[in-house]
Structure 1
């Protein structure tokens, strides 16, 4: 699972390096979300958070 998100992060980083100013904000937002998603995945794998809903 993390390999896929890592690939997405790499692609977004490459896009960001080559983006024109009009696209930059959108790509930065997508990259920020992907980084947060990866952090959640890592936290679930490490047992720092529980992936099950509380109900």
Structure 2
């Protein structure tokens, strides 16, 4: 990822996201969790710089 935050990489599709994006609006991205939070956990991310065609 070389200096990029994980959320930015996930939103842009540069980091694999099992299950993909759940919901994308103009301002929010809801994604399945990657990491130790457990099955079924979803994360909300403020989409300040997410490309409109990603996900």
Larger Rg: 1
TM-score (norm 1): 0.24
User: Greater relative contact order: 1 or 2 (C-alpha under 8 angstroms, separation 6 or more)?
Assistant: 1
Which structure has greater strand proportion? Answer: 2
TM-score (norm 2): 0.24
